Amino acid sequence: MKKQLPFYLFVLGLLLILISPTILSDGMFMDGLIYSTIANNLANGIGTFWDLHFSSTCMADFNGHPPLALGLQSIFYTIFGGSRYIDKIYSLLTFVIVGLVILQIWKHLGLKNAWFPLFIWFLIPLVPWAISNNMLENTMSIFTSLSVLFYLKSQNNNKYLFVLFAGIMLALGFLTKGFVAFFPWTFPFLLWLLKRKESFLSMTFGTLGIIAFTIIPLIILVILWPEAKISLQTYMDVQVINSLKNTTSVGSRFYIIGKLFTELLPALGVCFILIIWGWCKKFPMSALKTNSKTALLFFLLGLNGVIPIMISMKQSGFYILATFPFFAISIGAMFTPLIEFVFDDKFYKTKRFLFFKWISFGIFICGVALSVYFANHIGRDKNKINDMYMVIDIIPAGTTINILPNMGQDWSLHGYYARYKNIALDPDINNKREYLLIQNNELSDSAIITGYEKIKLQTIDYGLYKRIVLE
Do residue 235 and residue 264 come from a single domain? yes
Find the domain containing 305 and state its range. 5-372
For residue 426, pLDDT beyond 70: yes
Do residue 286 and residue 391 come from a single domain? no
Q: What is the pLDDT of residue 186?
A: 97
With residue 87 as reference, give the H or E element that holds it: helix 84-108
Residues ≥6 apart with Cβ < 8 Å to 391: 417, 437, 457, 459, 462, 464
Do residue 53 and residue 185 come from a single domain? yes
Q: How confident is the model at residue 1 (pLDDT cuts 50, 70, 90)?
A: low
For residue 321, pLDDT beyond 90: yes
- Please answer whether residues 140 and 114 qualify as being in contact, where contact means their C-beta atoms are separated by less than 8 angstroms: no
For residue 279, pLDDT beyond 80: yes
Q: Is residue 377 part of a domain?
A: no
What percentage of the chain reaches a pLDDT higher than 90?
A: 81
The total of structural domains in the chain comes to 2
For residue 471, pLDDT beyond 60: no
Do residue 38 and residue 107 come from a single domain? yes
For residue 149, pLDDT beyond 80: yes
Count of alpha carbons within 13 angstroms of residue 366, beta-carbon side: 13
Do residue 73 and residue 206 come from a single domain? yes
Do residue 440 and residue 301 come from a single domain? no
Do residue 47 and residue 15 come from a single domain? yes
Q: What is the pLDDT of residue 287?
A: 86
Specify the higher pLDDT residue, 148 or 250.
148
pLDDT tens readout for residues 387-425 = 999 999 999 999 999 999 999 999 999 999 999 999 999
Q: What is the pLDDT of residue 344?
A: 83
Cα–Cα distance for residue pair 108/124, rounded to 1 Å: 23
Out of 372, 403, 426, a domain closes at 372
Counting Cβ atoms within 10 Å, is residue 400 exposed (0-12), middle (13-18) or buried (19+)? middle
Cα–Cα distance for residue pair 336/253, rounded to 1 Å: 34
For residue 444, pLDDT beyond 70: no
Instruction: Identify the DSSP state of 341.
Output: H
Q: Is residue 220 part of a domain?
A: yes
Q: Is residue 140 part of a domain?
A: yes
Q: How confident is the model at residue 281 (pLDDT cuts 50, 70, 90)?
A: confident
For residue 76, pLDDT beyond 90: yes
Out of 372, 400, 417, a domain closes at 372
Quote the mean pLDDT of the chain. 93
With residue 424 as reference, give the H or E element that holds it: strand 424-426
Q: How confident is the model at residue 469 (pLDDT cuts 50, 70, 90)?
A: confident
Beta bridge partners of 58: 55
Sheet of strand 424-426: strand arrangement:
424-426, 400-403, 435-439, 462-467, 452-454
Out of 372, 399, 429, a domain closes at 372
Q: What is the mean pLDDT of residues 435-455?
A: 84
Residue 4 is which amino acid? Q
Do residue 81 and residue 150 come from a single domain? yes
**DSSP of 401-418, one letter per residue?**
EEE-GGGTT-HHHHHHHH
pLDDT tens readout for residues 186-241 = 999 999 999 988 899 999 999 999 999 999 999 999 999 999 999 999 999 888 88
For residue 319, pLDDT beyond 60: yes
Q: What is the pLDDT of residue 312?
A: 85
Residue 407 is which amino acid? M
- Please answer whether residues 465 and 453 qualify as being in contact, where contact means their C-beta atoms are separated by less than 8 angstroms: yes
Q: What is the mean pLDDT of residues 277-295?
A: 89
Q: What is the pLDDT of residue 113?
A: 93
Do residue 349 and residue 386 come from a single domain? no
Q: How confident is the model at residue 282 (pLDDT cuts 50, 70, 90)?
A: confident
Do residue 26 and residue 81 come from a single domain? yes
Q: What is the pLDDT of residue 247?
A: 67
For residue 22, pLDDT beyond 90: yes
For residue 455, pLDDT beyond 60: yes
Q: Is residue 168 part of a domain?
A: yes
With residue 435 as reference, give the H or E element that holds it: strand 435-439
Q: Is residue 291 part of a domain?
A: yes
pLDDT tens readout for residues 90-121 = 999 999 999 999 999 999 999 999 999 999 99
Q: Is residue 133 part of a domain?
A: yes
Do residue 19 and residue 57 come from a single domain? yes
Q: Is residue 77 part of a domain?
A: yes
Do residue 335 and residue 455 come from a single domain? no
With residue 363 as reference, give the H or E element that holds it: helix 351-373
